[in-house]
Structure 1
């Protein structure tokens, strides 16, 4: 939230020693890694969606058992008399930092973050805008997180702060303004043994469809902050076009609201208009920036509006009721710590399903029940045709902290173990295999920085033949109506697919095989060698036990009884097998494939040498 100053020290002082006692009494295993996997950063959750172990910001908030067990922490929060959103204890290890960043998503437009230092030293510095402060133990502060900010712990101890988010009420903001403009002697707020307090937590913080008044506030504020990096007339023209685009969107949104409010019938219309806005702003170029923090305007619109404007799973609150049945109540899903996920990457039709199904039998791993196309493609901004996306390729710059949290939360709700039971643990070893993710290694490396990637590759003759068969069978269509392509598209969509229009199917299949394997190797070479492992499909078929033993050694898994039994004989056909494996099966397509092989030889040589 924007504030009138980078930092505002609130006029209250709390008993740091008592807070330290309560923090020390909390279980050590309650501390979870920072949701963005920042080194040296961890958190203990106090107020979360449903009171569970998650980092979500959208949903009814409740106290966790950790806060319920901490009476003075409750008293500190209750003292301010506001409604609290997500709140945590945040720990910053010795020598660790919170890197320079800006909080730009919708959650932060209306909310401020309050800090109460519990354990700290003068060597811990907080930077915001052009100011630097040390927040002393027991003090209370808010800061302008719309400006760029960072934290450095230059001490040899762990820094621990109470960090709580709120929209604040009029009394809170009157107090904050007074603290920002005059010197006020801080009031000491002692611990009151036996005192019972009430803490109000957010129950409604996301719209089914964002109403026009909210859209107006979000975009009017952004337009006022937008500048063009282009000089002279070019910059003025860019700004004028941008203002017309935004104004047109606001007017169209209001018209749609007058027709549909937040009912089901309007959802596709709202989404279509939202996509149009993102495309229009993207077309204007990245010279449009936010004056305060130099963030690209397209990114801010995406996180303020794009991610939060339409949420059909939320109950209707507008003028007409939803026509959808009320969703069944479900328990709050705990978002676990994803410990060294095992991610299989391969060209399509390489045998990755067989490898996945083999590893999935061990109770050491949890998986989302099969291919998780929904994990990425549930975000419209990542679908081909969205601004800046024309294939299945995704790089690390596409992952924001908010998307990372949402993905991990959605994944948690789908995870099952070897016996099919839902995951219910603080830490899980994830097993993931979705063919399109072979083109998204940098993205998933950013999402899971300690992931282990298992690269499976198959000889070109066999693999290309299987790709051809899949296209012809019609059961692997991924894009029934791909703009710019005649007819349906099957399997993953590699960069450069547009150049294949009108080419014979064998050339398309060979391009999918080559581009995917080339991309995988290029991406994996950027990772430490101990985070990648190569499996040749022919080796897997010939001696599955030896291959799986090697994978287990690489991934720090035990070659247990379930894996021993699974690999003790011939592997069963995988769920996506078109016809059973058979030596020379590819030769039915030999006349179409053999002319392509010489051009693939350099890549094949690289594959055989890659490790």
Structure 2
């Protein structure tokens, strides 16, 4: 059966139809079915925009261990990803014709973030958090299927895959259950820069974007373990080579004999926070006493465009 063609109008119509179904189920007290209807919306072929799936035969799969970059949209994850790919022996997605070669769009094992708000919103939705798989056999089969799909889009011969989809930040326990040998790079950038940069894509209110940063990184904070390393955009911009070396040593990555060429946009590593922090609303206030940015070394009173270690 041919998949329905995507259009914003068709997607909105399907969402409205689902909303009517959920309303009826809630009125009838059928709460579990209502939640299932919402989850099915996220799995819909129509809602999952630009997903591309193909599967490599199991015997041909080269990827054995993923390294996940876990950071929000507009936090500089692509900068880190491309730098590590250029200087260290890893495999990576290339020219897959999906946004920023993100692995979330190259599989059908789990939902991508688009139906649930996308950038600046996905971390608010419980549907975007996947519970760890507790049964070893189910986890093994799911991991094998995911690697078989990802392997079809990979460039490189390394058994280590570097993957950087932004929703990784709230899925550490899930991926940990699939790949016990995986490593997680929890990557942060000043929330003011992330929020105002995200507004280039979606004109969301600044308080919502700041709350989203807080929600996503509080989730990551709760999930930190021995398989995680913390790294900051600001530190990387100040010292790319040494920051990358620290990450590579933790993740078990070997240096390439000769680096690959970097994309022109990353030929110069430069901290661009200042232009965003200068524009950040001076009137911004939050009543939330739990401010994840402070835990990760950021202060909103710091106007230099760099992170604070205070």
Deviation at 1:390, TM superposition (A): 4.8
Deviation at 1:463, TM superposition (A): 2.3
Aligned to 1:459: 190
TM-score of the aligned structures, taking structure 2 as reference length: 0.64
CA distances 1:28-69 after superposition (whole Å, capped 9, x unpaired): xxxxxxxxxxxxxxxxxxxxxxxxxxxxxxxxxxxxxxxxxx
Report the Cα distance in structure 2 between the residues aligned to 1:267 and 1:380, rounded to whole angstroms. Answer: 18
Aligned to 2:177: 446
The answer to whether residue 244 in structure 2 is matched with residue 537 in structure 1 is no
Aligned to 1:373: 104
Larger Rg: 1
Match of residue 221, structure 2, among 518, 521, 531: 521
Alpha carbons 1:456, 1:535 under 8 Å: kept: yes
- Could you say what secondary structure the match of 1:466 adopts? helix
Report the Cα distance in structure 1 between the residues aligned to 2:202 and 2:278, rounded to whole angstroms. Answer: 15
Q: How many pairs does the alignment contain?
A: 247
The answer to whether residue 7 in structure 2 is matched with residue 264 in structure 1 is no
Alpha carbons 1:455, 1:535 under 8 Å: kept: yes
Deviation at 1:512, TM superposition (A): 1.6
The answer to whether residue 254 in structure 2 is matched with residue 550 in structure 1 is no
Aligned to 1:582: 272
Alpha carbons 2:70, 2:186 under 8 Å: kept: yes
Distance 1:598 1:405, change over 3 A: same
The answer to whether residue 64 in structure 2 is matched with residue 338 in structure 1 is yes
Greater relative contact order (CA < 8 Å, ≥ 6 in sequence): 2
Say which structure is richer in strand. 1
Give the unaligned 5+ runs of structure 1.
Answer: 1-262, 287-297, 311-329, 418-422, 473-503
- Could you say what secondary structure the match of 1:349 adopts? coil
For 1:389-428, what aligned pairs fall within 5 Å after superposition?
A: 390-397=126-133, 400-401=138-139, 402-417=141-156, 423=157, 428=159
The answer to whether residue 89 in structure 2 is matched with residue 350 in structure 1 is no
Distance 1:563 1:513, change over 3 A: farther
Deviation at 1:598, TM superposition (A): 7.8
Distance 1:544 1:363, change over 3 A: closer
Report the Cα distance in structure 2 between the residues aligned to 1:355 and 1:455, rounded to whole angstroms. Answer: 11
Report the Cα distance in structure 2 between the residues aligned to 1:338 and 1:509, rounded to whole angstroms. Answer: 36
Report the Cα distance in structure 1 between the residues aligned to 2:202 and 2:81, rounded to whole angstroms. Answer: 22
CA distances 1:316-373 after superposition (whole Å, capped 9, x unpaired): xxxxxxxxxxxxxx9846123513x211101221111100011111462011232112
Report the Cα distance in structure 1 between the residues aligned to 2:275 and 2:289, rounded to whole angstroms. Answer: 20
Deviation at 1:514, TM superposition (A): 0.9
For 1:194-593, what aligned pairs fall within 5 Å after superposition?
A: 263-264=1-2, 283=30, 285=32, 332=57, 334-336=60-62, 338-339=64-65, 341-362=66-87, 364-369=89-94, 370-375=101-106, 379=110, 390-397=126-133, 400-401=138-139, 402-417=141-156, 423=157, 428-472=159-203, 505-524=205-224, 527=225, 529=226, 531-562=227-258, 573-574=265-266, 581-582=271-272, 584-591=274-281
Distance 1:265 1:532, change over 3 A: closer
Alpha carbons 1:358, 1:563 under 8 Å: kept: no
Distance 1:438 1:542, change over 3 A: same
- Could you say what secondary structure the match of 2:235 adopts? helix
Distance 1:515 1:554, change over 3 A: same
